[in-house]
Amino acid sequence: MINDEIVTGEGVSLQVSAASVIARAGAWLIDALLAGSVALLLLVALAFVGADRFDEASATALFAVVTAFLFLGMPIMVELLSGGRSLGKLVFGLQVIRDDGGPVRLRHSAARALAGFFELWMLSGVLAFMVSMFNDRGKRVGDFLAGTYVISIRPPRSTLPPLLSPPELVGWARVADIRPLPDMLALRARQFLARAYEFPPPIRHRLGLRLAAQLELFVSPAPPPGTHPERFMLAVLFERRMREQAALARLVPRLQAQLAGIDTLPYGVSDPDS
List all residues 6 or more positions away from 240 whose beta carbon is below 8 Å from its beta carbon.
178, 181, 186
Phi, psi of 149 (to 5 degrees): -155, 170
Residue 262, pLDDT score? 66
**The model scores a pTM over 0.75:** no
Residue 59, pLDDT score? 73
Q: Are 107 and 148 in contact (CB under 8 A)?
A: no
Q: Where are the domains of the chain?
A: 3-152, 167-260
Q: Are 190 and 3 in contact (CB under 8 A)?
A: no
Label residue 264 exposed, middle or buried (CB < 10 Å: 0-12, 13-18, 19+).
exposed
On the question of a cis peptide bond just before residue 200, with omega within 30 degrees of 0, the verdict is: no
Residue 229, pLDDT score? 92
Residue type, 87: L
DSSP state of 196: G
pLDDT in tens, the chain (274 residues): 555 555 444 444 455 678 888 889 899 999 989 888 988 888 787 777 765 666 777 778 878 888 888 889 899 999 999 888 888 998 998 999 988 878 899 999 999 999 999 998 888 888 888 888 888 788 999 999 999 989 887 655 545 667 888 899 999 999 999 999 888 898 889 888 888 887 888 888 999 999 999 999 999 999 999 999 999 999 999 999 899 888 888 888 877 777 766 666 665 656 565 5
Residue type, 114: L
SS3 5: strand
Beta-sheet pairing, 13-18 with 177-178: unpaired
Helix (H) and strand (E) counts in the chain: 11, 6
Residue 83, pLDDT score? 87
| SS3 readout for 133-184 | HCCCCCCCHHHHHHCEEEEECCCCCCCCCCCCCCHHHHHHHHHCEECCCCHH
Residue 133, pLDDT score? 85
Is the alpha carbon torsion for 167, 161, 5, 31 positive or negative?
A: positive
The number of beta carbons lying within 10 Å of the beta carbon of residue 6 is 16
Residue 43, pLDDT score? 79
Rounded CA-CA distance 161/165 in Å is 13
* First and final C-alpha spacing in the chain: 64
Rounded CA-CA distance 117/120 in Å is 6
